[in-house]
């Protein structure tokens, strides 16, 4: 058993696509529009990890989700209750510098923790992305 | 482009409080991060998150202070300033109201840092923030403290 794709709800797929490809430097894995469903299957993923992707799913409206629930879901994501993607890097500071230079606004600088060094940012919809350089556990560092 | 929900702007203010609580942040600074006027911002923040921006910032600072009390040997005064509060008296009063004990007795109720459970810092920060309280509350419920029943086991380390 393996993880294939994980999924975030997004408010605007074009905006999300631009963020994940242009600012994070990820690649498009799939971008298929089903006109009759008014649906676009959009998957991105980090270069070098071809077997795991992130589905950028639009907050659905009727008939999949009633209008009230759709609005609530969109608002929950905007409040930051949509969830977190935990990603790892070999060099937290380098990733921070590289993404900052491309316009990603981080919530916190790379911070030493007992389990490594980590930092975080949000995507345009409010989804949280945690970036961790995993290191041997040490209370001295945190 | 779809309309950005107001909550997305309010979240920027919440993120700012989480990121820079140790600075002399004010509600006006938080309102500015959301791009809203302070009065409108405070009302909408409360509607979205169920507490005022002032309460959120204060409980974030108290949560960080509690973490420093548990995991470091810094003095109470140092910790008060380290979390962005400028009055030791107000800090002690707020801390007692929320945690139902003084900073020193709170610290004494915890074992040495080495025995703390290993979880990602972001998780500890998100779940460890206390609810605000008033002295008028009649409930005598204890503030939940992290369970310490399990001993650290490197093989069960939770990776972020």
pLDDT tens digits for range A80-93: 999 999 999 999 99
Q: Write out pLDDT tens, residues A32-55.
A: 999 888 899 999 999 999 999 999
Which residues, 6 or more positions from B78, have their beta carbon under 8 angstroms from its beta carbon?
Answer: none
A78:B18 CB<8 A: no
User: Among positive and negative, which fits the CA dihedral B119, B121, B123, B127?
Assistant: positive
Burial class (CB in 10 A: 0-12, 13-18, 19+), A62: exposed
A15:B1 CB<8 A: yes
- How close B4 gets to chain A, by Cα (Å)? 8
pLDDT band, very low/low/confident/very high, at B148 (cuts 50, 70, 90): very low
Residue percentage of chain B with pLDDT more than 70 = 77
Q: Compare all CA atoms of chain B with the CA of A120 and give the residue at the minimum distance.
A: B122
SS3 of B47, please?
Answer: helix
Provide the pLDDT for residue B37: 96
Provide the pLDDT for residue B152: 44
B160 neighbourhood in chain A, CB within 8 Å: 86, 113, 115-116, 118, 130, 132, 134
CA angle A94, A80, B67 (to 5 degrees): 70
B10 touches chain A (CB under 8 A): yes
Closest residue by Cα to residue B125 from A85, A111, A95: A111
Q: Determine the average pLDDT of the residues in A106-127.
A: 95
Least confident of B42-51, B69-78, B140-149: B140-149
- How close A123 gets to chain B, by Cα (Å)? 11
Of the two residues B113 and B27, the one the predictor is more confident about is B27
Is pLDDT at B157 greater than 90 in this prediction?
no
Is pLDDT at B147 greater than 70 in this prediction?
no
Q: Compare all CA atoms of chain B with the CA of A16 and give the residue at the minimum distance.
A: B1
ipTM of predicted complex: 0.86
- Out of A107, A115, A139, whose CB is closest to B157? A115
Provide the pLDDT for residue B149: 47
Provide the pLDDT for residue B122: 79
Is pLDDT at A133 greater than 70 in this prediction?
yes
Q: Determine the average pLDDT of the residues in B38-67.
A: 96
CA angle A46, A57, A27 (to 5 degrees): 20
DSSP H helical ranges for B21-130: 27-34, 38-49, 53-71, 76-82, 88-99, 103-108, 121-128
Omega into B150 within 30° of 0, i.e. cis? no
Is pLDDT at A137 greater than 80 in this prediction?
yes
- Out of B8, B71, B120, whose CB is closest to A115? B120
Least confident of A60-64, A132-136, B99-103: A60-64
């Amino acid at each position: 058993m393996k993880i294939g794709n994980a999924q975030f709800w997004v408010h605007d797929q074009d905006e999300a696509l631009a963020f994940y490809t242009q600012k994070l430097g990820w690649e498009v894995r799939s971008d298929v529009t089903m006109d009759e469903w008014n649906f676009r299957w959009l998957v991105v993923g980090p270069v070098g990890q071809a077997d795991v992707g992130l589905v950028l799913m639009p907050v659905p409206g009727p008939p999949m989700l009633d209008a009230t629930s759709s609005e609530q879901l969109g608002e929950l994501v905007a409040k930051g209750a949509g969830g977190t993607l935990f990603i790892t890097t070999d060099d937290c500071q380098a990733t921070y510098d590289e993404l900052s230079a491309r316009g990603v606004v981080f919530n916190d600088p790379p911070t030493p923790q007992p389990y490594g060094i980590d930092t975080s940012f949000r995507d345009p919809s409010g989804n949280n992305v945690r970036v961790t350089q995993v290191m041997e556990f040490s209370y001295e560092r945190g | 482009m779809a309309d950005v929900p107001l909550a997305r702007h309010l979240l920027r203010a919440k993120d700012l409080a989480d990121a820079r609580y140790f600075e002399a942040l004010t509600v006006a600074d938080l309102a500015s991060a959301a791009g809203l006027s302070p009065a409108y911002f405070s009302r909408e923040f409360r509607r979205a998150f169920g507490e005022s921006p002032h309460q959120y910032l204060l409980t974030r600072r108290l949560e960080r202070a509690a973490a420093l009390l548990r995991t470091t040997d810094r003095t109470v005064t140092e910790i008060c300033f380290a979390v962005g509060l400028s009055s030791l008296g107000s800090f002690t009063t707020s801390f007692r109201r929320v945690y139902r004990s003084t900073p020193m007795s709170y610290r004494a109720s915890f074992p040495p840092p080495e025995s703390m459970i290993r979880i990602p810092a972001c998780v500890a920060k998100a779940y460890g923030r206390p609810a605000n309280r008033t002295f008028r509350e009649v409930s005598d419920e204890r503030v939940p403290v992290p369970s310490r029943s399990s001993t650290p086991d490197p093989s069960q380390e939770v990776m972020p």
